[in-house]
Structure 1
Amino acid sequence: MAGPISSGAGATAPHAPGTRYGPALALLASLFFMWGFITVINNTLLPHLRSVFELSYTQTTLIESVWFIAYFFASIPSAKLIERVGYQKSMVIGLLVMAAGALGMTLAASIPSYGVTLVMLFVIASGITLLQVAANPYVAVVGRPETASSRLNLVQAMNSAGTMLAPMFGAYLILGRSKGGTAQGDVVLTQAERLADAQSVILPYVLVAIVLVVLAFVIARFPLPAMGAATQRHDREERRKYSLWSHRNLVFGIPAIFIYLIAEIGVANLFVNFVSQPQIANLTHEQAGNYLTFLWGGMMVGRFAGSAIMQKFDAGHVLAAFSVGAFVVMLVTVFTTGPVAMWSLILVGLFHSIMFPTIFTLGIKGLGPLTEEGSGLLIMAIAGGALVVVQGWLADSYGLQTSFLLTAACELYVLFYALWGSKTTNALPDQQVTQ
């Protein structure tokens, strides 16, 4: 999944002729890469934990639900923290919180404990939420204002690069080093095997923690541009004149983000278990984890292609076309078997690629001085990923393959939003904020 895009919120840094923003932008892009990478490690971690703790699909998807609940609870405290200590220090704190959670995962693996695992994943996700709230405004100010859109697309691609590489990392260092991950189909492990499998998580999370601490140190020492606050009082007074709820594109955009996240996270989390089934591809979890790379790779390719297409065609129409494509391939996934079902599920990544950033930009269109509040609500809507537990319940009750009908239903709401819900009402002039 990509980080949300903020536009028109906050003051822009002054641009001096000849100033080189490349190093700062590269450093910011590394944050998008890291939270995409760490988020998608969960997709290989979940089938691993399912065998270690002998979990049902409901319990397995509850792990991811806890992850996305953090977006709901941590968003407002993150904004308060940024207001108190500033953006750069908040980025450092976010990385250190993530590192602490990663080290906590080694504790959970040593015990092993399902409960401690849930707590530590919540800690990691809270750190990512703080990064999302803090890093996005910087992308808009590092460089010339007229190239801001190009920079945002670049960091989105870096986020996708992280999501594409994470499954290979997880498949090799988690699934590939465990009995449950290398066995054919579901396997019942002995107590000794479950303990050994649980401890296979220690090395990858130690490596992740080290990288996060190093990145925190680099950002703490890096001279990032300061964000001015000279116009904040004026902005607050201006916002009181308008109502967020008079903007149809935002009102329907919030549930669109919420519902889309259910689809994206459900596909990614249950992919390994689905393609491992004998009637689908009959792969080991390790082999299936490698195919997950194609799912996320399709999202990266789709974002580049979608960005080019939207230069010539209306974003809402492109979103509608992609949602129809996603609906069709999900029906193929549900009603076929073998390689066709597997590759159709992989193909949905291509159609999902543009949904988050496109819904987000359509949702804040025409908000003017309300852009900041609208962006915050859309960020909180990422918590929709927590409802992936509903698909876990459907998988337990009606079968894993049938549960993807929920995904197909989510695509229909995105189609509704693209064709009607995204139309702006009471549009306000874009906010021009200078330092």
Structure 2
Amino acid sequence: MTRQEPATRKKYLVPFMLVVSLFFLWGMAHNLDSILIPHLKKACQLNNRQSTLVDTAVFLAYFLMALPAGMILKKWGYKISMILGLVVFAIGAFLFVPAANLLSYETFLIALFIIGCGLTILETSANPYAAVLGDPAKATSRLNLAASFNGLAAMIAPFIGSVFILSGKSFTETELAAMPDVSRSAYFLEEAASVKMPYIILGAVLLLIALIFCFIKFPEIKTKSIAGTPQGSFFSVLRHRHLSWAVVAQFFYVGAQVCVTSFFIRMAQQGAGFDEKTAAYYLAIYGLLFMVGRFVGTALLQFVSSHRLLALYALISAVLCLIAILGDGAYVIYALGGIGFFMSVMFPTIFALGINGLGDDTKLGSSWLIMSIVGGAILPYGMGTLIDLNNDHIQIGYTIPMFCFLIILYFGLKGHQVKTNTL
């Protein structure tokens, strides 16, 4: 047995490294959305609610594609699912070119929806694959390690966005009205055009990774069910009480994360008086703290149970939201940066706790947890509505993520406990 263990680890190493690259790539997509929201708000002349449709387009795809993605995974396995996800993701990225040329917000939303479909297929397959690809006792740590590279993307994407997408040019409604029609149209087209090159490069990288996947052998991991627990249908899998609570917790976590990042730049401009590019640099620092939090959290999980760490981090995040709501000046941004650190381990930890002990139901449970990402489509829209109803007061909107962290706190304390109801 001892001789086989190094060989087994070596067999898993290359597939695991490639799966880690997927975490980085979908992290790039999500964190570029934080740049796109204020950018397209300016380029397409949107209000707060309309600008959050960027999130709605992406995360609605998670909800609608979760069941098909689960079926694809169940029928064709992890490798083909991941390749398909990469190709669909790339198609959406390339659609940014006609969207920018037409200055069509609707076309941008279609492109983002297609990207979301690709991300759904990727996450439905890659998250559980990272969890089961090795020692079951280290599933949570392994998933957090992979997700740490999602955190790396959270730091890099805002920097790329600030350099290649954000222009730093901003005009008031009065200044825009005073411009000649030709100059105003040229300004909007120039703003929209800046997204083309980053997304062309992203699409090309995605196709290259998909090609590499085609030539690498991926072990198809077989899982074992809990004794006496039959394999369920898509809906009956929710008899696992801890999975049901994980779906709820994941819904509110993703909603909270997207709320925090979607309005980060606007918060930095309004609350701390930063200009657009400086606000984007602070968003990159937020991403750095998110990444550091992932690595620190992965290390802490060697000594602290995952549900206790989750509960502690959720409580701290709720307190930091309160500081962001009531604070003033740069302290508001410091609080949001702290949320990035403590929020970092939540998604993979909730995911791993949710699929714990599911056995043959793991793939179906994964689909439910990916479907719950629809929280990122619903809650930011609610936050944008709340902000619009309060005369564009950004801080009041952060009461929504604060409530979300309290739900996650309960999951960490009680909801994670494994219990399967009989049908």
Deviations 1:47-80 (Å, cap 9, x if unpaired)?
Answer: 1100001100000112211110000111121223
Question: Is the alpha carbon distance of 1:240 and 1:254 closer, same or farther for their aligned partners in structure 2, counting shifts above 3 Å?
Answer: closer
Question: Is the alpha carbon distance of 1:400 and 1:185 closer, same or farther for their aligned partners in structure 2, counting shifts above 3 Å?
Answer: farther
| 2:40 paired with 1:46 | no
Aligned 8 A contact 2:290 2:343 in 1: yes
For 2:148 and 2:99, the matched residues in 1 are separated by 32
Question: Aligned runs of 1:173-322 on 2, under 5 Å?
Answer: 173-175=164-166, 178=167, 181-183=168-170, 189=176, 190-227=184-221, 238-240=230-232, 244-277=237-270, 280-322=271-313
Give 1:392's match in structure 2, choosing from 363, 384, 390: 384
Residue identity matched to 2:381? V
Deviations 1:378-412 (Å, cap 9, x if unpaired)?
Answer: 22111111111000101111121111111111122
Question: Is the alpha carbon distance of 1:246 and 1:49 closer, same or farther for their aligned partners in structure 2, counting shifts above 3 Å?
Answer: same
Which residue is equivalent to 1:25? Answer: 16
For 2:145 and 2:301, the matched residues in 1 are separated by 15
For 2:101 and 2:341, the matched residues in 1 are separated by 38
Which residue is equivalent to 1:6? Answer: none
Of 402-411 and 316-325, more deviation after overlay is shown by 316-325
Aligned 8 A contact 1:323 1:351 in 2: yes
Q: CA deviation at 1:228?
A: 6.0
Percent identity of equivalent pairs: 35
Give 2:55's match in structure 1, choosing from 58, 64, 79: 64
Aligned 8 A contact 1:70 1:126 in 2: yes
Question: Is the alpha carbon distance of 1:408 and 1:206 closer, same or farther for their aligned partners in structure 2, counting shifts above 3 Å?
Answer: same
Cα RMSD of the aligned pairs, angstroms, is 3.0
Question: Is the alpha carbon distance of 1:258 and 1:289 closer, same or farther for their aligned partners in structure 2, counting shifts above 3 Å?
Answer: same
For 1:237 and 1:310, the matched residues in 2 are separated by 28
Residue identity matched to 1:120? A
Q: CA deviation at 1:415?
A: 1.8
Aligned 8 A contact 2:241 2:418 in 1: yes
Residue identity matched to 2:231? R
**Equivalent position SS for 1:337:** coil
| 2:335 paired with 1:344 | yes
For 1:361 and 1:228, the matched residues in 2 are separated by 17
For 2:283 and 2:265, the matched residues in 1 are separated by 7
Q: CA deviation at 1:19?
A: 4.2
Q: CA deviation at 1:419?
A: 2.3
Structure 1, unaligned stretches of length 5 or more?
A: 1-13, 429-435
Which residue is equivalent to 2:179? Answer: none
Q: CA deviation at 1:256?
A: 1.2
| 2:355 paired with 1:364 | yes
Aligned 8 A contact 1:257 1:382 in 2: yes
Of 215-224 and 95-104, more deviation after overlay is shown by 215-224
| 2:368 paired with 1:377 | yes
Question: Is the alpha carbon distance of 1:226 and 1:60 closer, same or farther for their aligned partners in structure 2, counting shifts above 3 Å?
Answer: same
Of 385-394 and 139-148, more deviation after overlay is shown by 139-148
Between the two proteins, the alignment pairs up a number of residues equal to 408
**Equivalent position SS for 2:52:** helix
Of 117-126 and 135-144, more deviation after overlay is shown by 135-144
Q: CA deviation at 1:99?
A: 1.2
TM-score, scaled to structure 1: 0.85
For 2:118 and 2:404, the matched residues in 1 are separated by 28
Deviations 1:155-210 (Å, cap 9, x if unpaired)?
Answer: 111121122211111111100xx3xx344889965222111111111111111111
Residue identity matched to 2:195? V
Which residue is equivalent to 2:180? Answer: none
Q: CA deviation at 1:358?
A: 2.2
Question: Is the alpha carbon distance of 1:276 and 1:226 closer, same or farther for their aligned partners in structure 2, counting shifts above 3 Å?
Answer: same
For 2:71 and 2:236, the matched residues in 1 are separated by 22
